[in-house]
Structure 1
Amino acid sequence: MALVLLAVTAPDTLGALYQLYSSLPTDAELNDASRFGAGLFGALTVGWGVTLHQLGRGIAVSRAAVIGALVWFIVDSAASIALGFQWNGLSNVGFLAMFLVLLPWRRPR
């Protein structure tokens, strides 16, 4: 979640953090695509984290997957729109729809 928040609200701070870990001798400058990438990876990480947390609590796999996917969708779409990549928010709708359609909705035995 930190990557998403830094990508959206504090790109200079995110750039400074990248610079700390960069092997480049010059300042690392984040362009819009880099900020978008940081937001995207942050959203994916949050979605996976929520899914794993739900599984650890004993929630059914399909329910945990849906909760994680919804969290990913909300965070990723909001970050995409805030960063000017509305097309990604729109493509997220299609991905989420495919995920929900293809998810096996069996009840646990």
Structure 2
Amino acid sequence: MLSSFWSRWLLVVTLAITALGGVLACAAVPGLEGPTLALLALMHGQTQLDETLRFAIGLMGAVTFGWGLTLMTIVRAAVAHPDLGPALWRPVTASLALWWLVDSAISVSTGFALNAASNTLLLASWILPLQASGLLRRPA
């Protein structure tokens, strides 16, 4: 079972994912793309968005926003119903690990290694409380 501290930790992680989705979604809206451009400048020096990038990054933002809310729902359900935890924590963590592998490989191969580093931080932020709580060691 997750302690109150680790439960809150995971909720903050899911809020951060959701917020990132919101920032990325703003790329699709002229006049609201400032935070997205700042993030892209940090990651790779990109300071302009053509229509294709607006669409792709905006759509990625919508998906990331939904992903964050989905993970938040999973955390809340697993905390409210600890008996569901084993059926949720391990497959969700495996899914996140596969996302990390694919996303980070794409990031490095396209020159966005800093994104792979942030992916690693996110994955570690998810695994740390589960591992510290022993939830990944228990049989599903």
TM-score scaled to structure 2, two decimals? Answer: 0.36
The one of the two structures with greater contact order (alpha-carbon pairs below 8 A, sep at least 6) is: 2
